[in-house]
């Protein structure tokens, strides 16, 4: 417990102090980099809710990232600038998409579930490509960023702290959900489906609700991402993005609060280092990921806690 508190204290302090420090040495790039990592960490946190606690191996989580981002882009395209509207629609739309995908997918299990979530996300990806009005394959510049009173998401440092607060909030909300009565039911369904049924509740609605919550939370991450890049492209929904999100959760440690955050930082920083090293960085990253799966089974969070 002490270790956990110390970990969060160090993380929070480091992330609060980062912008003034890197701006003092004139390296604003790192503000953007860490902001991007924190935004994707929110997506990883949402995936951990269904993957780590719910045991649902969704290989299509990037879909909600894309839906959230497209919601912002399309609203801005039609002249809606209100940030509240952007974020409400982004979260609502991705929750709805998650409801539709989840309603079909959760009927199946195991390998079918993996392939179906992947296939549905691919379907949305092709939909994004064929939407010529919204940029098609090339993507689209967002006309206006989400406008909030007092908060300007166009300012890099302000957007950084917004992402930071929302990341902490997401981690907090997910940990509250997981430790609630509903979360216990969700974990029970993961560890023993038959016993959960015998106790008198049906796993299907529990899983579906978790799936929808995760979709909505990932939509929030997508809306932030659209504001971060000021650009939307179908590649946000590509299966490589889904795979990357899964790796964040696994590298960090499934079913832990700190895991997805740690994993997002570890994976994206490793990519950043390798990109500086060679153009063909994936040729190194690929085998590293294979090795991490084979040998590093409990993730980074396993170093901090000793539950296993």
Partner 1 sequence: MNWALVFEQLLNGLQYGVTLFLMAAGLTLVFGIMNLVNLAHGSLYMVGAYLAVAATQWTGSYLAGLALGLVGTLLVGMAVEVIALRTLYERDHLDQVLATFGLILFFNELVAMIWGRAALFASGPAWLSGHIELFTGSRYPLYRLVIILIGFLTALILWYVVARTRLGMLIRAGASNRTMVAALGTNIRLLYTVVFGFGAALAGLAGILAGPIYNVQPGMGELILIQVFVVIVIGGIGSIRGALVGAIIVGVVDTLGRAFLKPLLGTLISLPAAESAGPALASMLIYLLMAVVLAVKPAGIFGSRN
Binding status of residue 96 toward partner 1 by CB under 8 A: no
Q: Which residues of 20-34 are buried (b: 16+ CB within 10 A; e: fewer)?
A: eebeeeeeeeebebb
Binding status of residue 57 toward partner 1 by CB under 8 A: yes
The rounded radius of gyration (Å) of the Cα atoms in the chain is 19
Q: 3-state DSSP call for residue 9?
A: helix
CB of 210 to partner 1, least distance (A): 17
- What does each C-alpha distance from 247 to 45, 137, 240, 251, 279 come to in angstroms? 12, 26, 10, 6, 21
The four Cα atoms 123, 129, 134, 140 give a dihedral, to 10 degrees, of: 120
* Nearer to partner 1 among residue 23 and residue 274 (C-beta): 274
- x-or-dash string of contact with partner 1, 253-292, rule CB under 8 A: ---------------------------xxxx-xxxxxx--
Cβ atoms of 185 and 196 within 8 Å: the answer is: yes
14, 81, 130, 179: which one contacts partner 1 (CB under 8 A)? 130
123, 157, 209, 270: which one contacts partner 1 (CB under 8 A)? 123
Binding status of residue 99 toward partner 1 by CB under 8 A: no
* Nearer to partner 1 among residue 165 and residue 293 (C-beta): 293
Q: 3-state DSSP call for residue 27?
A: coil
Stretch that binds partner 1, among 10-18, 107-115, 137-145, 168-176 (CB under 8 A): 107-115
Stretch that binds partner 1, among 32-40, 104-112, 184-192, 255-263 (CB under 8 A): 104-112
Residue reference for tokens 């994707």: 40
* Nearer to partner 1 among residue 126 and residue 172 (C-beta): 126
Binding to partner 1 (CB under 8 A) within 165-224 occurs at: none
Q: Can you tell me the distance from the alpha carbon of 172 to that of 128, in angstroms, rounded to the nearest whole number? A: 32
Give the pair of three-digit tokens for residue 17: 């102090």
Give the pair of three-digit tokens for residue 215: 């979709």
Number of residues located near partner 1, criterion CB under 8 A:
41
Q: Looking at the DSSP assignment, which residues form a beta bridge with residue 242?
A: none
* Nearer to partner 1 among residue 13 and residue 104 (C-beta): 104
Residue 274 has, within 13 A of its CA and on its CB side, a CA count of 15
Q: Can you tell me the distance from the alpha carbon of 160 to that of 32, in angstroms, rounded to the nearest whole number? A: 8
14, 127, 165, 269: which one contacts partner 1 (CB under 8 A)? 127
CB of 152 to partner 1, least distance (A): 35
3, 16, 81, 108: which one contacts partner 1 (CB under 8 A)? 108
- Phi and psi at residue 153, to the nearest 5°: -70, -10
Q: Which residues bind partner 1 (CB under 8 A)?
A: 51, 57, 59, 104, 107-108, 110-112, 114-116, 118-120, 122-123, 126-127, 129-133, 239, 243, 246-247, 250, 280-283, 285-290, 293-294
């Amino acid at each position: 417990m002490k270790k956990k508190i110390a970990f969060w204290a160090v993380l929070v302090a480091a992330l609060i102090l980062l912008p003034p420090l890197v701006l003092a040495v004139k390296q604003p790039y790192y503000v953007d980099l860490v902001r991007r990592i924190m935004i994707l960490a929110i997506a990883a946190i949402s995936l951990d809710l269904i993957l780590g606690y719910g045991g649902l191996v969704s290989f299509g989580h990037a879909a909600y990232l894309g839906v959230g981002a497209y919601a912002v882009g399309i609203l801005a395209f039609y002249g809606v600038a209100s940030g509240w509207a952007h974020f409400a629609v982004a979260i609502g739309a991705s929750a709805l998409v998650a409801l539709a995908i989840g309603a079909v997918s959760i009927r199946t299990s195991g390998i079918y579930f993996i392939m179906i979530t992947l296939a549905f996300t691919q379907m949305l990806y092709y939909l994004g490509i064929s939407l010529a009005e919204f940029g098609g394959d090339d993507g689209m510049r967002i006309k206006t960023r989400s406008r909030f009173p007092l908060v300007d998401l166009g300012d890099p440092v302000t957007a950084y702290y917004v992402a930071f607060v929302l990341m902490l909030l997401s981690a907090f909300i997910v940990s509250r959900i997981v430790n609630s009565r509903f979360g216990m039911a969700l974990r029970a369904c993961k560890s023993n489906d038959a016993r959960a049924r015998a106790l008198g509740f049906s796993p299907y609605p529990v899983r579906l609700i978790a799936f929808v919550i995760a979709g909505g939370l990932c939509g929030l991450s997508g809306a932030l991402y659209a504001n971060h890049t000021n650009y939307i492209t179908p590649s946000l929904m590509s299966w490589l993005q889904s795979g990357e999100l899964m790796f964040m959760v696994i590298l960090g440690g499934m079913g832990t609060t700190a895991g997805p955050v740690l994993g997002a930082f570890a994976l994206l920083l490793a990519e950043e280092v390798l990109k500086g090293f060679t153009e063909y960085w994936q040729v190194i990253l690929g085998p590293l990921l294979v090795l991490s799966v084979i040998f590093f089974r409990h993730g980074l969070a396993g170093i901090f806690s000793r539950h296993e």
